[in-house]
Amino acid sequence: MRSKLVKILVSILAVILLGSCDNKHQRAVRSPEFVFFYAENQDKDYPTTLGGYKFSELVEERSKGRIKIIVQPDSTLGCEKEVMEQLQFGGIDFARISLSTLAESVPQFHVLQMPYLYTSSEHMWKVLDGEIGDNFMKSLEGSNMVALSWYDAGARNFYNSVRPIHSLEDMKGLKIRVQESTLMVHMVEALGAKAVPLVYSDVYSGLQRGTIDGAENNWPSYESTNHYKVAKYYTIDEHTRVPELQLCAQATWNKLSAEDREMIQACAKESALYERTLWIEREKQSKERLSQSKVEVIELLPEEKARFQQAVKKVYEIYCADYMDMINAIIVEGR
């Protein structure tokens, strides 16, 4: 009887011990080795955010759950300028950032977003996917950030609540919100308007309260932020194509093995291709949605566009005097 009792007790203990080992084992498999945060300033349905989710999914899948990347949309981790500062000291692990913001810290990136530089989206992608784009990515070395992949952000156009812009004269005196970028301030002032640098998330209330008359952005941003509801004149001049980069903090990169880095870079590139297809789709949808609204779309006539292009020439002198070879190489790619 006694030996039977001992046997039962031993079995119970064995089950408990095995169970706990098994739990530990399962926990070891399931709980990630790294949990990283990824900053995004657009909403959860926006193409760049969906690209970020895809990136996170791919990394989780390929690392078999070892690396988890939590994408935080809607500027929850801060505005782009703050995010970039945090990236530089490792406070945020990953982000998708507009080059306008990046160039404030790494000035050579102004080159890739100069006004009227690209003749089309194809032209820009030829540059970014080629040697010039690769060299720019590498040029981030020493900035405490690592470039992972290029994201699309289309072409930017002017919009305002005061009057339709058909000519350079119509720009005169308008208070136009720009990104927190000295290049964009100079560009808008060269066109005769008054530039007001402002955080992206404050543009809607600025338009509503009349502290600014207008802003400039691509179709999906104009539509997704509801700016069109408070600034109905949208003039297509495609003054800039400002590409974006997916970035990793150098401090985070340093924690990863060579294999993980390679895998993460590949996932970023794959997510970027996905984002590009979503971008094309979303541009169409935004145009379609806006055609059902009160928005008045104005196409600049070619001779007027030529005047806009002429007016911004001085901005090239300020920002690109040392980079004219690069500018010329980019222009050649568009021929």
- Order of strands across the sheet with 94-98? 67-72, 34-39, 94-98, 244-249, 145-151
Task: Assign 4 to helix, strand or coil.
Answer: helix
CB of 80 to ligand GCU, least distance (A): 5
CB of 110 to ligand GCU, least distance (A): 16
- Nearer to ligand GCU by Cβ, of 72 and 217: the residue is 217
- Nearer to ligand GCU by Cβ, of 67 and 242: the residue is 242
Q: Cβ(154)–Cβ(99) under 8 Å?
A: no
Alpha helices in 44-172 (DSSP H): 47-62, 80-89, 99-102, 121-129, 131-138, 168-171
Of the candidates 180, 178, 198, the residue with the CA atom closest to the CA atom of residue 188: 178
CB of 49 to ligand GCU, least distance (A): 10
CB of 33 to ligand GCU, least distance (A): 30
Q: Cβ(153)–Cβ(96) under 8 Å?
A: no
Q: Which two tokens stand for residue 328?
A: 């010329």
Residue 159, strand partner residues: 215, 234
Which amino acid is it at 117? Answer: L
CB of 167 to ligand GCU, least distance (A): 24
- Nearer to ligand GCU by Cβ, of 52 and 67: the residue is 52
- Nearer to ligand GCU by Cβ, of 63 and 217: the residue is 217
Burial 88-100 (b: 16+ CB within 10 A, else e): bebbbbbbbbbbb
Q: Cβ(300)–Cβ(235) under 8 Å?
A: yes
- Nearer to ligand GCU by Cβ, of 159 and 253: the residue is 159
Residue 240, strand partner residues: 156
CB of 322 to ligand GCU, least distance (A): 26
- Nearer to ligand GCU by Cβ, of 42 and 63: the residue is 42
CA 50, CA 53: separation in Å to the nearest integer? 5
Query: Which residues of this protein are in contact with ligand GCU, per CB under 6 A?
Result: 41, 80, 98, 153, 179, 200, 217, 221, 244
